[in-house]
Structure 1
Amino acid sequence: MSGWTRHTGKAVALDLESVDTDQLITARFMSTPRAEGYGRFLLYDLRFDSEEQPVPDFPLNRVPDASILVARRNFGSGSSREAAVYALVDFGIRTVIAPSFGDIFASNAVNNGLLPAQADEAEIDALIDELAGGAVHATVKLEHGEIEIGSRKLAFTLDAAWREKLINGWDDIDLTEQHHPAIARYRDRRAKAQPWAFPAGQTAG
């Protein structure tokens, strides 16, 4: 996974609250191998009608090259399925801006290079009104916690460790490996002090 610090793309509004992971990708698509891509399944039952024809007015049908999604509160709630993040990333979404996110969704997002940018709800309300006329260009400045979008500058909050992971392209394992020297020193100290806690042949050294 490649790290990033800045992204410029088209932003669209998804004027819905509590978009859950089952809406982001429904269970019937989850047997598809990830190698085939999940982007075509993103928000499928909202993007397509009962005859599987595109809904013309749906934001991601109007702007299929959008890479920044502005949504309302509680985005990514529901089950812990990581495939919901795969669908967004494979579609081309790099940032979701919302007042709040499902906790597990947000963690999965960061581990896959997707920014869950949490911003003030009143500012997002105004931004969604501005985006009602269509897509606008936006620039996400990850290091500065700021998004220039339309006529606005929007500050967002993000855990410092998550910011580090996105900038460096790390997942949880990569982040843990940055502490390898300290972990090794702790293991060696414990192996010397409590050798009985280790299997034979697996003590310090």
Structure 2
Amino acid sequence: MEPLKKHTGLVYPLNRSHVDTDQIIPKQFLKRISRQGFGQYLFYNWRFDEKDHPREDFSLNDPKYKGTSILVGGENFGCGSSREHAPWALEDYGFRIIIAPSFADIFYNNCTKNGILPVVLTEEEVQTLMTHAEKGDYHITVDLEKKQVFDHTGFTATFDLAEYPRQMLLNGWDDISVTMTHEDKITTFEKNHIVY
């Protein structure tokens, strides 16, 4: 995973509450065995019609959000089934950060383990970001080291994140990478305790 210390990106507003994982990545696309390639199916039922043509009435299809990397959503983002494919699809599409007033617990944890920073802000702070982003061409900076979100207008907000997932994101580690930081101790243990 890529380390995530400070990120500035174009904001996409998804002004919907209770966005569930089946809307993020519909079940018919879960047959892939690789973590890559899910981005093309992100929000598929909202982005495309029955003939697989892009819907003009879904904002992510608007060219003004091309290249977006920060999603601002409503409360209880990522609810529903615990499929890890949901953060895979978001990350593969290009999202590095998701900001919402609240997240489903399993989705939140899956994000931190897959290189996406979930940021919890107040409803008022989220609405401020949403209002700016709906106009388009709105960029914000998220600083994980300082745990701050800010923009060029003077908006500033702070957020919290437990230290373990924070260090994983800052260093670009997954669970295996964290284990390998103890490689010398593992090797010593193997030499002293394992008979080949």
TM-score, normalization by structure 1 = 0.83
1:155 aligns with 2:149: no
Cα deviation for residue 164 of structure 1 reads 0.4
Q: Would the aligned equivalents of 1:13 and 1:131 in 2 still touch at CA under 8 Å?
A: yes
Q: Match for 2:73 among 71, 74, 93?
A: 71
Cα deviation for residue 183 of structure 1 reads 8.0
Q: Would the aligned equivalents of 1:24 and 1:43 in 2 still touch at CA under 8 Å?
A: yes
Structure 2 SS opposite 1:70: strand
Q: Which residue of 2 aligns with 1:106?
A: 108
Q: Displaced runs of 4+ in structure 1, greater than 3 A?
A: 176-185
Instruction: Say what the alpha-carbon RMSD is for the aligned residues.
Output: 2.4
Alpha-carbon distance between aligned partners in 2 of 1:56 and 1:150, rounded to the nearest angstrom = 30
Cα deviation for residue 64 of structure 1 reads 2.6
Cα deviation for residue 174 of structure 1 reads 2.6
Query: Structure 2, unaligned stretches of length 5 or more?
Result: none
Q: Which residue of 2 aligns with 1:51?
A: 51
Structure 1 SS opposite 2:157: strand
Q: Which residue of 1 aligns with 2:138?
A: 136
Instruction: Provide closer, same or farther for how the CA distance between residues 49 and 154 of structure 1 changes in structure 2, counting only shifts above 3 A.
Output: farther
For 2:18, the aligned partner's letter is S
Cα deviation for residue 149 of structure 1 reads 3.3
- Percent identity at matched positions? 40
Q: Would the aligned equivalents of 1:99 and 1:120 in 2 still touch at CA under 8 Å?
A: yes
Structure 1 SS opposite 2:115: coil
Query: Structure 1, unaligned stretches of length 5 or more?
Result: 192-200
Q: How does 1:169-188 map to 2 (within 5 A)?
A: 169-178=172-181
Alpha-carbon distance between aligned partners in 2 of 1:109 and 1:115, rounded to the nearest angstrom = 6
Structure with max Cα Rg: 1
Alpha-carbon distance between aligned partners in 1 of 2:106 and 2:36, rounded to the nearest angstrom = 24
